Amino acid sequence: MKKEFKILITSFLLLVSCFSFGQDIHFSQFYNSPLNLNPGLIGAFKGEFRLVANQRNQWSSVTTPYSTYGLSVDAKRIFNSPIGAGIAVYQDKAGDGEYSTLQIALGGTYTIRLKDTTQSVSFGVQPAFTQRSINYANLQFDNQYNGVQYDPNLGNGESFSNDGRTYLNLHGGIAWNYEIKQRKALGAGIAVHNIIKPQQSFFNENIPLHQRYTINVNGLFRISDKIDALPHINWQKQHKFQEIIFGGQGKYHLNNGNYKALYAGVWYRNSDAMYFNAGLDYHDFHFGISYDLNLSSLKVASNRKGGFEFSLIYIIQRYKPDMRRYKYCPDYI
């Protein structure tokens, strides 16, 4: 039974790898990865410059961990204009074959202020370069089974003409923000990734990277003097696959020197996982951590364990000199 169980799990993971071949990089803390969520969110923050780092590990209890890293930098009001700009780099490595995706995306937004400037709409565009590769040497094939056990010295009997592909891509999005009053706001966005549907097959077959559609809605509501509620709903669809995440977090204001706020939240991703997050605002930094509990059919092998995810955001405020006012004293005093 143990042998059959291992074969079943291996087959399932191969199937997951095939599905992930045609899907984009994503994070559980999507709200802490704005340039990956929606190009319209480039420059959507309070400050002058924003640096964001994300890291995610999953399936370490079942197989070689799937690891995803992200790093982005963006700015708003370039040369005091309504234009924002940013660059994002993402690296994803999956499974024993080290199936790797490297994406470098440049982007820009144009923001329009509405009415009394409490509302704004940002239009974003994000051209991207992607490189994908796989390491066949790390894979095992049935020809390497000698009748008793796996023998890595046996040839695999396979011939692969290509182990990678590069392609250009294009993403776009619109983001709306409404600052109703202090500690009360609404936001929403629509994004389309892979607009040109680039070919992604290593073997020159007609396998396009399907467009990914994203709709997200979020809010900020004051509950008490110290507590805010931050609900969020995120829907994504790519080809036959769709994902719905809903949940939120509470924010507790500390107002204690550099320690500004604490966060805690609960989220649900349809038919896949429930996860929890915690966070801290310290000076101009925001630290976030989350952990997934697997609820999918893989829970038998994973023992419901998903993976940890970390995020770090640093907002750079432009230095404003302290203006000192001096009074002119007459000579006769």
In a domain, 263, yes or no: yes
Looking at the domain assignment, is residue 279 inside a domain?
A: yes
Confirm whether 226 is domain-assigned: yes
Residue 332 forms part of a structural domain: no
Q: Does this model's pTM top 0.85?
A: no
- Residue numbers of the domain that contains 253: 2-316
Residue 268 lies in a domain: yes
Instruction: CATH number of the domain at 50, please.
Output: 2.40.160.40
Find the DSSP H helices in the chain.
2-21, 34-37, 299-302
Task: Tokens for 24, please give them.
Answer: 């984009």
Tell whether 329 is covered by a domain.
no
pLDDT per residue, tens digit, the chain (333 aa), is 444 444 434 444 444 444 444 467 889 999 999 999 999 999 999 999 999 999 998 765 556 678 899 999 999 999 899 999 999 999 998 877 778 899 999 999 999 998 777 999 999 999 999 998 888 777 777 777 877 788 777 777 677 767 788 999 999 999 999 999 999 999 999 999 999 999 988 877 788 999 999 999 999 999 999 999 999 999 999 988 899 999 999 999 998 789 999 999 999 999 788 999 999 999 999 999 999 988 866 555 555 567 899 999 999 987 554 444 444 455 555
Q: Count CA atoms within 13 Å of residue 231 on its CB side.
A: 9
If one counts the domains in the chain, the total is 1
Span between the terminal Cα atoms of the chain, in Å: 101
DSSP letter string, 215-281? EEEEEEEE-SSSEEEEEEEEEEEETTEEEEEEEEEEEEEEEETTEEEEEEEEEEETTTEEEEEEEEE
φ/ψ (deg, to 5) at 247: 160, -155
Kindly state the tokens that stand for 147: 């009748």
Note whether residue 298 is domain-resident: yes
For residue 278, tell me if it sits in a domain. yes
